[in-house]
A and B are shown apart, each in its own frame.
Chain A
Amino acid sequence: MAPIYCVPLDGFPLKILHEIGSELGRTFHAPVHFLPEVDTTEQSYDHSRGQHNSSSILVMLNSIIPTDHARIIGITTADLFIPIFTFVFGEAQIDGPAAVVSGQRLTNEYYGMEANNLIYYERLLKECTHELGHTYGLRHCLSDGCVMRKSTYVEDIDFKTSEFCPECRTYMEAK
């Protein structure tokens, strides 16, 4: 399997990035490399919305990917949007190389609840696996619990597991 490059965006904590990256390497059976931090503010920050445009970040990630056929995932704490939506947890190119995930709306504090690092880490891992799954060509899955199931609320993320369902796993193994 081609390597996965993990990029910390806009000051995302490196410790969590490394933990998530290692886990992604195990899930996708791919070597993981970590790239230096990138500031996306100039390229993706929308002053009128106070959020980062995830599509612009994908363009930027495409421009820094070091090798062909590799995957690249940027993780940020900034809030992401695509033009028509109020927010997105992340975005990815189907069968493309790039994905981006935001941790901002994955914390308990964002919803006025007590911080819980374990829950935050689990949500982040699920979203990174989900978005990277799209870069390998997987679409949204209807199976309960499959990591590729669509999540529009944080509760949806908690409901699913960080694993692929047998059908999605078969697809990934054939890649």
Chain B
Amino acid sequence: MKAEEFGILIVDDEFGVRDSLTRWLEKDNYRVEAAGSAKEALLKLDTGSWDIALVDLKMPGMDGIELLQRIREIDEQIAVVIITAYATVDTAVEAMKIGAYDYITKPVDPDDISRLIQKALEHQTLAKENILLKSNIQEMQEQYKLIGESPAIRKCLEMVDTVSKTDSTVLIRGESGTGKELFARAIHLASHRRFCPMITVNCGALPDTLLESELFGHEKGAFTGAQYRRKGRFELADGGTIFLDEISTISPKTQIDLLRVLETKQVTRLGASKTLKLDFRVICATNENLESLIKEGKFREDLYYRMNVFTLHVPPLRERRSDIPLLVEYFVQKYVQAMNKPVRSVTSEAMDMIVRYTWPGNVRELENVIERAMVLCKRDRIDVDDLPFGLYAQVEGDNRDSLANVERAHILRILHRTDWNITHAATMLEIDRSTLYNKIKRYQIDR
């Protein structure tokens, strides 16, 4: 930040002090104002924005200590520096205890005050950055919010709430596309570790040799090509959370190393002799049946028990169909903003179809379908037309495949395509207009 962006308020009953100090600080480009009393200072605090207040301890009427307390009530971010004489240093120390940033003793060396102001402003900048980062984290929490009101998802959210208050290792299980990483992030963001990073490792995406150096890091020269020392993902997650996705894919050798790390919370970089003591929380995820893998000897039982302290089963979308309209609404809004399209919602026919589909790809598939529909949609509501044909073909239900339903959906599609031009639609359907009117009436098709 530039000096002129910082505001300094000088409060001293002695004209000579506030006048000369104002002139001195103005030369450094700060925005400086002076007040001759605590009362005047409070008025300026009400109307302006200040980063530092230099407050004389002894003033007639309200003294510096009382003013400090009032400033704390108005704005706790302002760094209050108490100006005092040698005789009143004890009181200034008291002032520090109730929240003064620092104190200076008159007369002060010019260099001391310059450094003090600079230090206070650096402190202010860090405090502002801190507030900004915390609000960013809140935004992230919004961004990664879990959508759903079904009993199945409510149960999951309650478990997220419970487990986030602990440091226990969590195993998230669920089909592909159910949002396991989203749940991991929800646990991380609700925990006390949210101000530190959540590091994600997709174990399935890395070959075994690479995974080892990726997880534990390496020293320079640890292996051919290790030109630099590199921190591992566990080190990067220090203070935060490490999310190990597709944990079932790791090799037996890495399983042993991982077990040791989970037990000791200590990591040794490849090629290093020193062990690092770290503080992280582990969340693992898999879409495979680990119990079967143990029986087949592909996954270590001891690692399974170490990871499986707390298990969270994320239900597939077909087991929480009541959440689908909420998810659809969420994705529509998300893509409305991203694509800047005037789409408001989904027609009841399209929604009915979406709700009844089996969703083997779960929420991920649903999001993709909505994104695709948003691209294709030319009206203000997503309709059956905009959905992929595969979705239509696989809709569940005993009478969904009946001839009547297929006919109704086909007529609807043609009507949309012709923008409800009955003559044109009847021509395309190769029936006459009165037949089309009858069918519209029979199938209760509304525009």
Report A's interface with B, CB cutoff 8 A: 49, 53-55, 81-88, 91, 93-94, 134, 139-140, 150, 152-153
Known contacts A54-B20, A55-B23, A84-B20; 8 further A-B pairs (Cβ under 8 A) = A53-B16, A83-B20, A84-B106, A85-B24, A85-B107, A91-B23, A93-B23, A150-B114
Q: Chain B nearest CB: distance from A122 CB in Å?
A: 21
Q: Chain B nearest CB: distance from A139 CB in Å?
A: 5
B27 close to A134 (CB less than 8 A):
yes
Instruction: Assess A82 versus B24: contact at CB under 8 Å? Given A55-B19, A139-B29, A140-B29.
Output: yes
Interface of B is mostly: helix
A91 close to B110 (CB less than 8 A):
no
A150 close to B17 (CB less than 8 A):
no
How long is the Cα–Cα vector from A140 to B110 in the complex, in angstroms? Answer: 14
How long is the Cα–Cα vector from A83 to B185 in the complex, in angstroms? Answer: 57
How long is the Cα–Cα vector from A152 to B108 in the complex, in angstroms? Answer: 12
How long is the Cα–Cα vector from A87 to B28 in the complex, in angstroms? Answer: 18
Cβ-based interface call for B426 (8 A): no
A81 close to B107 (CB less than 8 A):
yes
Q: Chain B nearest CB: distance from A97 CB in Å?
A: 14
Interface residue count on the B side (C-beta < 8 Å):
21
B26 close to A94 (CB less than 8 A):
yes
Contacts of B114 in A (CB 8 A): 150, 152
Instruction: Assess A139 versus B28: contact at CB under 8 Å? Given A53-B16, A83-B20.
Output: yes
Contacts of A91 in B (CB 8 A): 20, 23
How long is the Cα–Cα vector from A66 to B14 in the complex, in angstroms? Answer: 31
How long is the Cα–Cα vector from A86 to B107 in the complex, in angstroms? Answer: 5
How long is the Cα–Cα vector from A88 to B108 in the complex, in angstroms? Answer: 11
B27 close to A140 (CB less than 8 A):
yes
Q: Chain A nearest CB: distance from B376 CB in Å?
A: 56
A83 close to B16 (CB less than 8 A):
yes
Q: Chain B nearest CB: distance from A132 CB in Å?
A: 13
Cβ-based interface call for B42 (8 A): no
Report B's interface with A, CB cutoff 8 A: 14, 16-17, 19-21, 23-24, 26-29, 83, 106-111, 113-114
How long is the Cα–Cα vector from A140 to B118 in the complex, in angstroms? Answer: 14
Contacts of B14 in A (CB 8 A): 83
Contacts of A140 in B (CB 8 A): 27-29
A55 close to B27 (CB less than 8 A):
no
Most-contacted residue by chain B among A83, A84, A140 (CB, 10 A): A84
Interface of A is mostly: loop
Which A residue sits closest to B54, measured CB to CB? A84
Q: Chain B nearest CB: distance from A155 CB in Å?
A: 10
Which A residue sits closest to B14, measured CB to CB? A83
Which A residue sits closest to B19, measured CB to CB? A55
B23 close to A94 (CB less than 8 A):
yes
A139 close to B108 (CB less than 8 A):
no
Instruction: Assess A86 versus B108: contact at CB under 8 Å? Given A139-B28, A150-B114.
Output: yes
Which B residue sits closest to A85, measured CB to CB? B110
B16 close to A55 (CB less than 8 A):
yes
How long is the Cα–Cα vector from A137 to B84 in the complex, in angstroms? Answer: 32
A139 close to B110 (CB less than 8 A):
no
Instruction: Assess A87 versus B110: contact at CB under 8 Å? Given A55-B19, A55-B20, A82-B20.
Output: yes
Contacts of B26 in A (CB 8 A): 94, 139
Which A residue sits closest to B114, measured CB to CB? A152
Which A residue sits closest to B4, measured CB to CB? A139
Which B residue sits closest to A138, measured CB to CB? B27
Q: Chain A nearest CB: distance from B333 CB in Å?
A: 47
A85 close to B28 (CB less than 8 A):
no
Contacts of A153 in B (CB 8 A): 111
Q: Chain A nearest CB: distance from B131 CB in Å?
A: 27
B108 close to A85 (CB less than 8 A):
yes
B107 close to A84 (CB less than 8 A):
yes
Q: Chain B nearest CB: distance from A137 CB in Å?
A: 11
Contacts of A55 in B (CB 8 A): 16, 19-20, 23
Contacts of B111 in A (CB 8 A): 152-153
Contacts of B28 in A (CB 8 A): 139-140, 150
Which B residue sits closest to A51, measured CB to CB? B107
Q: Chain A nearest CB: distance from B143 CB in Å?
A: 39
